[in-house]
Structure 1
Amino acid sequence: MFEKKSAFWGLGLSAVISLMLLLLRPQLLFDYDFESFFPSDDPELAFYQDFRERFENDNDYLLIALGNSSGIFEKGFLENASRFQSELKKLEFAERVISILDLEESIINPFGIVKRKVLDWSDALTLSTTSERVLKDPQFSENLISKEGDYLLIILKNKQLITKEEGDQLYGSVKQLLENSGIETYYSAGKIKAQGEFVSLLQAEFAFFLGISFLLIIVVLYLIFRTWWGILVPVFVLATGIAWTIAIMMLLGKPLDIMSVMQPTILLVVGLSAMVHYLTFYLTQLRNGLPKDKAIHATFSGLFLAIFLTFLTTSLGFFSLYATSAVSLKMFGLFSGLGVLLMFLSVVLITPGLLYLLGPLSSVSRDKWVENWRIGLRISLLLTLANRKLVVIGFGLVSVLSLIGISQLQINGYLLDNLPRDHKLVEEFNFFDRQFGGSKPLEISLEVGEKAKTLLDREVLEEIVVLETFLHDKFSVRTIISPLTLVKNINKALNGGNVNAFRLPSPGQMLLISSNVEMALEKAGLKLLSEDRKSGRLSSRTSDEGSLKSSILKKELEDFLKSEINSDLLKVKLTGTSILIDKSHETITYQMAKGLGIAFVLVGLVIGFLFRSWRISLLVLLPNVIPLLWMCGVMWLLGIELKLTTAIVFTVAFGIAVDDSIHFMTKLQSELKKGKSLLYAIKRTYLETGKAIILTTLILVSGFSILIFSDFGVTYLAGLLISMALVFALLSDLLLLPILLLPMKKIFDSKINQSSN
């Protein structure tokens, strides 16, 4: 299969594949949609999708804060801000602009309806009067103006379910207007800004990590092989595998997203691991005196099964992510698994042919480093076997401590989890949390109970009063918009605009409310009630305090609703994108455990098939479970919480770490089939595969370690935790696995005898 002629056919086939992909002209696209992390099979997602069809999407807005060091109640500043707002209204994809600058209140008296500006700066006296009234009004203070009166808030309602391209265009226009506005200080936060910032950072990081990964490979290859062909061959093979993967992703319509930043590094280190195994074995054959052609054939024939199994188990680890319900993770697992198989194809099709063309023409002499490796590995094995009890006790003790750490881990994540807490975008969102009650949407569905006619029935409104009081106390919300707000505004209008009348009217006054509901709904500017008045929404904003606290608050709300809200009058359900994101951290974490279980089973079946023994399969899995336990212990020590961005690490780490165990076991099986005793076979395996295992681990750790320089949380944590898991896996394979194999002598003997008969 790997003779010169077939190797050249492989080179030709790879050239044809590359040419076909090039002619199809795949287009490189970037995207970031946080809704792709929602669990797609969650009934709460279906409920919210129906809810927003009836009302609106809860996060299609941009918050813009305009500041003035001497306070916002200055005529010059207000006129400047008003001009800016007027320009905002003209922008494409801007549906509505809300602020105190042009807000009007209705005053209902016996002679009709009178409109008055909430904030009037036509003269100094009027400005002083209206500003004082505004600061005392709970509808506006810490909602449309900051508590200290040094910032005012403009809410830009953009097109519903706006696309990434439309959002970029709109935010670009807003940013240009802000820069040209002459406003002293300004902040902005919202989905269209966050998505644009994420994609810009994504593009920069993708190019950075792709470039630095190749630079790292060149350095590592030079240090290992110190030959020009030892650098050129792997770099060409790995670049081809990555290019095939990205091209097929693009042709299948999969844009590069936040998860894709890791894929080039993953594919590079996985592919490079195989290349080091191949080239190390190839040089060993040359040093043993084999001619070049026979050395190439012996290398690729002898290692083909082991390399195939390592690529297969790694891809299975990624494919197991498809068991999750989040679209983004499904696609990451699917295309990462596919990429690993494409990298294997690139390695086996291209490498033999290039070695025939470019490799050394004569045998390579043995140097002192080869002998030093053998001496070091021999000493390591002797010390390991001489201290078996100490090694087992050490591994057991650390594993028990890690299990204790696992019990202390908590699931907690934030909306902007993928960015460091000191990132400018995070700081701007935090600014709105401090000054305007939050940037995170809070959405609650309201439905009438069996004993009520509409949400505007006074007894139903009394239930909403109880609900809103709870939300103010527990969720720390400052301003709420609901059917109750509608009624309170009408009552205020009927009482001459008196702030103290912004409350639920008396039963007698309720008779005057119904005739003004339509006018109030039109003035509200957003859909609060269904046409039959039987369903509605309660909307507010909160600060992002993490999914852990959100889940606690949600449970408290559910308990409160059961005990304090009469469900015969009012049915309440928490919904919205925020609650879905919070829930996704917990849901995906548990689903990742399921996916990891699937990966264990699949890899166990592969090993079991190879050795025809379930006991050997379990034995080989044990040294690869321990690194995951230890990784949990490290997470506990470092205060790293479980969340969507850390959950994926376990499956990825297991899929990659198990490769070394498979290399060890396939070599062991080969030695046993030659009639060697188990102890001697372990020694030969340890000495011959130990160097490759150590080198590949160093390469993998070096490759993943560069990810810690990422600004994305998911990428940073993947680099940190996977690197640790790989080091732990190396210790398990070289220290624990040989000890675990010794008691299995009878099983190995019986399997070898069965295969020889």
Structure 2
Amino acid sequence: MNRFGTLYDRLILARPLVVLGIFALLLAVAAIKFGQFRLDASAESLVLENDRSLEQYRKVNRRFTTSDDFLIVTYTPEGELFSEAGLGRLQALRDELQALPAVGSTNSILNVPLLHSPELTLDTVDAEIKTVDEDNVPPDTVRTALLDNPLYPNLLISEDARTTAIQVNLPTPERYFELLRERNQLRDKVEADDASAAEQEQLEAAQQAFIGFTETQGEERDATIERVRSILDSYRDGAEIHLGGVPMIVSDMIRFIKNDLSTFGLGVLAFLVLTLVIIFRQWRWVLVPLLCCGFTVWLMIGFLGWAQWPVTVISANFIALLLIMTLSLTIHLMVRYREFQHDDTEGEPRETLRQTLAAMFKPCFYMAITTIVAFGSLTFSGIRPVIDFGWMMTLGLTVAFLITFLIFPVLLRLLPPKADWTVTSDRVPFTDTFARFTERFGKSVLVGSAVIAVLCAIGVSRLTVENSFIDYFKPSTEIHQGMITIDDRLGGTTPLDIVITDDPAPENASTDSDPFASSCDPFVEDCGDGEEYRDTWYTYQKMQRLEQVHDYLDSLPETGKVLSITTTLEILAQINQGEPLDALELAFVPAAVPDDLQDTLLTPYISEEHDQARFSIRILETMPELRRQALLDRIRTHLTTELGYEEDQVLFAGMTVMYNNMLQSLFDSQIKTIGAVFVVITIMFLLLFRSLKLALIGIAPNLIAAGSVLGLMGWLGIPLDMMTITIAAITVGIAVDDTIHYIHRFKTEFAKDRDYLATMHRCHRSIGRAMFYTSLTIIVGFSILVLSNFIPTIYFGLFTGFAMFMALLGALTLLPRLIILIRPFGPGATE
């Protein structure tokens, strides 16, 4: 260690300008790729690591010619909607939206077929179809036609006919799918170790091409959404208008996060500066830690840009956490430096700095390693952004530690702080109050900790992993208001697809048989059981089974609008003078439906090529009792037990499935493994302190701190989601920091007089002060996050502050009380 210290002194402390020059070049290199730093809130960024739900979701959309790439404009006029003026104003709004370059088409009550006419029959449907756009249909007739049609109510128009919707389709270019297929094919080869060197290079090029294309598409889509909003603003004076849809939710989530990173980043910075000024009273003690924090974030942003590593909704918090950890390291060095200044006010600054680094290197290194282990637990998650968050924090903490012991001392060499009155004062710090309390009420500390532990256990048992997208946004935001409107009046928000595959045909079934050559008479009976009918869905028996599925799904309280081939048959029955189609008419449905209605009435629900039928369902996100996993399990059980479908015949797809898979994985990958994380940290404590007693003592405040955060969430009914799950790892990382520093300092101080109580008071006045300053600075700085419009950001600010408070409280009360009680350093001098 002496040899290392000599080398460090010669290379770093003796050449501060050279070190800063080299570091400036590194910062410049990192800055080159700042423009490549990006946020990603796409569906691909939120799925499980090996989850095929996204692939199935895309496959279902392409197979049934459907997509969720559309915006929904809800329109509730102040006056009558179904009047010449009301429909005219709606048409003007629709025309402006449809004229936007990125808009492929629009669907509304203006262009959908009304399918309502006394002369309309199955034979004349092609000639008699009318629309508001093409025909002079009286408004009252339009209203009646829409409300009587099974397809449109709770989809394009509310049941009270007051609210309507315009679906603004934003088609994904075919180039996107070409690049996606190319990237995935090459990625599968590389993962299977079946790729040549050339193919590995092709994968890199394909990934870059895909990233570049998606970034361009994202920018164009954001611009389109802004233009849509500007158009809507010009119509708000006469109507209540809301904007919704998956693209808009993604765009606004990214916008909220960007605003939080910039606006609240500056706010946090201002709070940190103010707190540092109040505590340390010297501009050097404000500038130096802020530069260290800034350099750490600077390098990590540059690295992520160089690596083309996107930041997601979850990992965007890594910047704030790096500020916490870097600030914690620098404040501990600052307080220790000032302690040496206090002991020797005339000491040479370089020697004081050398003493500080020698005293703090080991505890800071231990802190960094154990905190990395805490955040490393996130890499065991099955969720891609959570894994990325774990790796980003691992790399970021490494950078923070290196900057703290390279740039911090260099800056102090160039800007040596003076020993002012705040250093030379012998005033007892506030933290000694905790020492006196612990000494006087030791038993109360233990009993109180036990009570907190019990309450934490009860709270953790109450945790759930259910959440709704609507809970991410304040009631004042457009996303929240739009979701409520769509749920209440237009049939639900989150899409769920259920795909049923047809029964396989017998191995000896004939594929070219003539259905009319059989003994069955299709005019009078159901011929759907014959082998000759197994290659088509349009038989009486199969449609009856699908109708049973449709009716069951429609009966569930969690579902809004349900669409399927049953909806189409209801429409055709209306056209057929109210008579259900018989077996023969069912067989000719594909031929009877006009070509321009195929994409509306047939292909979204039946794929003859793949022998599959699709049910399109909208889930009511605003329903308080919504439990996605229970809902999916209940549906699957009913389809397989009550309706007789095999397990492999039923496929769930859509955003609901992907989001639910992610939520369910949270409990399995994090809550169940947090115990293992504590075991690993205990083992590390054992290696660091070489004492089982100290390892067990050190883990206790960490358990209390992590349990308090999770327990509080349970008691408050705040569910675990992709954001709040990371708080457990954050809490462990923070609590580990305080524990290591306190135990290391206690061991050093105890050797002076082997008096446990006196040592506790000295530790509270020294390292306790650094812990208090760190916690106070972070709690105050991150309190500004409660002003965000993004609820997860608010939770992050609140629970980070609470975690810091609990970690500090445990380290200043429970930890010293356990040390005094168990005496891990041996008997005291008077024993």
TM-score (normalizing by structure 2): 0.82
- Please say if residues 415 and 581 of structure 1, whose CA atoms lie closer than 8 Å, have aligned partners that are also in contact: no
- 1:15-51 Cα distance to aligned partner (Å, 9 max, x none): 2322332355644434432542222323544543443
In the TM superposition, what are the counterparts of 1:590-609 in structure 2 within 5 Å?
590-594=668-672, 596-597=674-675, 599-609=677-687
Cα drift, residue 569 of structure 1: 12
**Is the counterpart of residue 157 in structure 1 residue 169 in structure 2?**
yes
Cα drift, residue 304 of structure 1: 0.8
- 1:498-535 Cα distance to aligned partner (Å, 9 max, x none): 4x44xx52335434435325745245385432243611
Q: Which position in structure 2 is the counterpart of 1:405?
A: 459
Residue in structure 2 matching 1:356, options 398, 413, 418: 413
Cα drift, residue 200 of structure 1: 2.5
- Change beyond 3 A, Cα 1:288–1:16: same
Cα drift, residue 690 of structure 1: 1.6
Residue in structure 2 matching 1:454, options 536, 554, 576: 536
Structure 2: how far apart are the matches of 1:269 and 1:384?
A: 27
- 1:442-478 Cα distance to aligned partner (Å, 9 max, x none): 2111211246543322212111111111122114645
SS of residue matched to 2:650: strand
- 1:567-609 Cα distance to aligned partner (Å, 9 max, x none): 1699333321122213322322332225534542443333221
In the TM superposition, what are the counterparts of 1:392-431 in structure 2 within 5 Å?
392-431=446-485
- Please say if residues 456 and 711 of structure 2, whose CA atoms lie closer than 8 Å, have aligned partners that are also in contact: yes
Structure 2: how far apart are the matches of 1:445 and 1:511?
A: 21
Q: Which position in structure 2 is the counterpart of 1:127?
A: 139
Cα drift, residue 239 of structure 1: 1.6
What letter matches 1:424 in structure 2?
E
Q: Which position in structure 1 is the counterpart of 2:548?
A: 466
Structure 1: how far apart are the matches of 2:71 and 2:606?
A: 23
- 1:695-737 Cα distance to aligned partner (Å, 9 max, x none): 2221222233222222222211111112112211222111111
Cα drift, residue 281 of structure 1: 1.1
Deviates more, 1:292-301 or 1:450-459: 450-459
In the TM superposition, what are the counterparts of 1:499-518 in structure 2 within 5 Å?
500-501=578-579, 504-507=580-583, 509-513=585-589, 515-516=591-592
Structure 2: how far apart are the matches of 1:178 and 1:711?
A: 22
Structure 1: how far apart are the matches of 2:158 and 2:589?
A: 31
**Is the counterpart of residue 529 in structure 1 residue 611 in structure 2?**
no
**Is the counterpart of residue 588 in structure 1 residue 588 in structure 2?**
no
**Is the counterpart of residue 242 in structure 1 residue 318 in structure 2?**
no
What letter matches 1:505 in structure 2?
L
Q: Which position in structure 1 is the counterpart of 2:428?
A: 372
Structure 2: how far apart are the matches of 1:152 and 1:575?
A: 27
SS of residue matched to 1:117: coil
SS of residue matched to 2:724: helix
Cα drift, residue 419 of structure 1: 1.5
Residue in structure 2 matching 1:114, options 127, 130, 137: 127
- Please say if residues 242 and 264 of structure 1, whose CA atoms lie closer than 8 Å, have aligned partners that are also in contact: yes
- Change beyond 3 A, Cα 1:59–1:598: farther
What letter matches 2:581 in structure 1?
P
- Please say if residues 750 and 759 of structure 2, whose CA atoms lie closer than 8 Å, have aligned partners that are also in contact: yes
In the TM superposition, what are the counterparts of 1:108-257 in structure 2 within 5 Å?
108=121, 113-119=126-132, 126-160=138-172, 163-179=217-233, 184-185=238-239, 186-257=241-312
Structure 2: how far apart are the matches of 1:568 and 1:229?
A: 71
Q: Which position in structure 1 is the counterpart of 2:787?
A: 709
Structure 2: how far apart are the matches of 1:578 and 1:135?
A: 28
Q: Which position in structure 2 is the counterpart of 1:6?
A: 12
Q: Which position in structure 1 is the counterpart of 2:699?
A: 621
In the TM superposition, what are the counterparts of 1:606-755 in structure 2 within 5 Å?
606-671=684-749, 676=754, 681-742=759-820, 744-745=822-823, 748-749=825-826
Cα drift, residue 564 of structure 1: 1.9
Q: Which position in structure 2 is the counterpart of 1:486?
A: 568
- 1:78-126 Cα distance to aligned partner (Å, 9 max, x none): 23433443454444343332222122256445578423215589668x4
What letter matches 2:69 in structure 1?
D
Deviates more, 1:406-415 or 1:544-553: 544-553
- Please say if residues 412 and 547 of structure 1, whose CA atoms lie closer than 8 Å, have aligned partners that are also in contact: no
- 1:269-308 Cα distance to aligned partner (Å, 9 max, x none): 2222222211111111112113322111000111011122
Structure 2: how far apart are the matches of 1:663 and 1:716?
A: 29
- Change beyond 3 A, Cα 1:481–1:166: farther
Structure 2: how far apart are the matches of 1:642 and 1:523?
A: 39
- Change beyond 3 A, Cα 1:339–1:182: closer
**Is the counterpart of residue 540 in structure 1 residue 617 in structure 2?**
yes
What letter matches 2:650 in structure 1?
V
Structure 2: how far apart are the matches of 1:419 and 1:597?
A: 32
Structure 2: how far apart are the matches of 1:281 and 1:323?
A: 36
What letter matches 1:127 in structure 2?
P
- Change beyond 3 A, Cα 1:128–1:389: closer
SS of residue matched to 1:417: helix
- Please say if residues 383 and 665 of structure 2, whose CA atoms lie closer than 8 Å, have aligned partners that are also in contact: no
Structure 1: how far apart are the matches of 2:780 and 2:456?
A: 25
- Please say if residues 14 and 346 of structure 1, whose CA atoms lie closer than 8 Å, have aligned partners that are also in contact: no
Structure 2: how far apart are the matches of 1:280 and 1:39?
A: 44
Residue in structure 1 matching 2:85, options 76, 82, 86: 76
Residue in structure 2 matching 1:574, options 640, 652, 655: 652
Structure 1: how far apart are the matches of 2:231 and 2:435?
A: 69
- Change beyond 3 A, Cα 1:518–1:538: farther
Residue in structure 1 matching 2:76, options 53, 67, 70: 67
Q: Which position in structure 1 is the counterpart of 2:327?
A: 272
- 1:207-250 Cα distance to aligned partner (Å, 9 max, x none): 12221222122212211221122222222222212211222122
SS of residue matched to 2:562: coil
Cα drift, residue 479 of structure 1: 4.0
> May I ask how many residue pairs the two structures share in their alignment?
739
Q: Which position in structure 2 is the counterpart of 1:16?
A: 25
TM-score (normalizing by structure 1): 0.89
Structure 1: how far apart are the matches of 2:268 and 2:730?
A: 18
Structure 1: how far apart are the matches of 2:238 and 2:437?
A: 70
- Please say if residues 414 and 582 of structure 1, whose CA atoms lie closer than 8 Å, have aligned partners that are also in contact: no
Ranges in structure 1 where 5+ consecutive residues have no aligned partner: 751-757
SS of residue matched to 1:444: strand
**Is the counterpart of residue 85 in structure 1 residue 118 in structure 2?**
no
Structure 1: how far apart are the matches of 2:677 and 2:693?
A: 17
Structure 2: how far apart are the matches of 1:530 and 1:413?
A: 33
- Please say if residues 448 and 570 of structure 1, whose CA atoms lie closer than 8 Å, have aligned partners that are also in contact: no
Aligned alpha-carbon RMSD (Å): 3.1
Structure 1: how far apart are the matches of 2:757 and 2:413?
A: 37
SS of residue matched to 2:498: strand
SS of residue matched to 2:563: coil
What letter matches 2:406 in structure 1?
L
- Please say if residues 786 and 794 of structure 2, whose CA atoms lie closer than 8 Å, have aligned partners that are also in contact: yes
Structure 1: how far apart are the matches of 2:818 and 2:26?
A: 45
Q: Which position in structure 1 is the counterpart of 2:112?
A: 103
- Change beyond 3 A, Cα 1:49–1:675: farther
Structure 1: how far apart are the matches of 2:464 and 2:54?
A: 24
Structure 2: how far apart are the matches of 1:424 and 1:635?
A: 27
- Change beyond 3 A, Cα 1:41–1:546: farther
Cα drift, residue 261 of structure 1: 4.6
Residue in structure 1 matching 2:373, options 316, 329, 354: 316
- Change beyond 3 A, Cα 1:336–1:710: farther
Percent identity (aligned): 22
- Please say if residues 32 and 195 of structure 1, whose CA atoms lie closer than 8 Å, have aligned partners that are also in contact: yes
